[in-house]
Amino acid sequence: MAEMLTTTDYNEISEYVAQHAPSARILEEITAHLDADYHTVWLDNWTVWHAWSEPGEDEWHLDQETAERALKWLQSQLDGAGVFDRLADPTRYAEAVEARYVASDEDAMAEYYDVELAAIRCILPDNSPAHDVDRVIQNQINLARAEAARLASLRAHHIRAAFQGDGERGWKSAAARGLGITPVSLGDVLKDDDARAERRRQEAARSRDDFDG
């Protein structure tokens, strides 16, 4: 992150950005989530500009950084405001206190996605086609799925370690009660883990058969 300007006049900040990044646009919803009285965030191609001031202080600061570097703190801010959690669980919007956020959450995430796409463009050659960007996104999805599967197996391992013991009759029901979930849900966790293990073994056996053949 590079601090480009410090001033007590916010208009100087606006003029500086307009002069050095004429195509920059304000990320209005992200700015609102940060608190527009003390922040303004712009995106210009794959560069993020951030004007900010501490409450009670007259001095404004203007920072510039790549979209890739800006993603972490932007995610932290939106996550802290509950945006990620609400969008991941649409039932949250069924509550009146959360329902009022649906439009601003969607708009803020659309802006965040623009920064995320800019960050991907940062790591690709100039003028890379859309399918190269999509390939990067798909790779991230595959990594996320692999991590989700690993965590699901961790959960199953924990359940067995904590409750199975010698496998006495009724241990699954006791485990479900202890975890506050239904026996069906617990059974699904264990069955899904068994299915992943079985598929691994089948693939390995098939590979050995092909090699031996």
- Whether the per-residue pLDDT at 213 is higher than 60: the answer is no
Residues sharing a CB contact under 8 Å with residue 31, sequence separation 6 or more, in sequence order: 39, 40, 41
pLDDT of residue 141: 97
In a domain, 73, yes or no: yes
Task: Quote the Cα angle for 129-132-138, to 5°.
Answer: 145
**Mean pLDDT, all residues of the chain:** 93
Number of structural domains (the chain) is 2
> Is there a contact between 7 and 59 (Cβ–Cβ < 8 Å)?
yes
**Residues 108, 137 within the same domain:** no
Domain range for 31 is 2-123
In a domain, 128, yes or no: no
pLDDT of residue 209: 66
Residue that is last in its domain, among 102, 123, 144: 123
For residue 90, the 8-state DSSP code is G
What distances in angstroms separate CA 124 from CA 67, 72, 75, 131, 144, one per listed residue? 13, 19, 22, 11, 21
**Residues 96, 157 within the same domain:** no
Question: Which residue, chain included where needed, has tokens 């996104």?
Answer: 137
For residue 92, the 8-state DSSP code is G
**Residues 109, 157 within the same domain:** no
Q: Give the pLDDT band (50/70/90) at residue 168.
A: confident
Residues sharing a CB contact under 8 Å with residue 142, sequence separation 6 or more, in sequence order: none
What distances in angstroms separate CA 45 from CA 22, 65, 68, 104, 186, one per listed residue? 11, 12, 12, 23, 47
Write out the H or E segment, with its range, that includes residue 100.
none
Q: What is the mean pLDDT of residues 141-166?
A: 95
- Whether the per-residue pLDDT at 65 is higher than 80: the answer is yes
- The counts of H helices and E strands in the chain are 9, 5
Looking at per-residue pLDDT, the higher value among 35 and 165 belongs to: 35
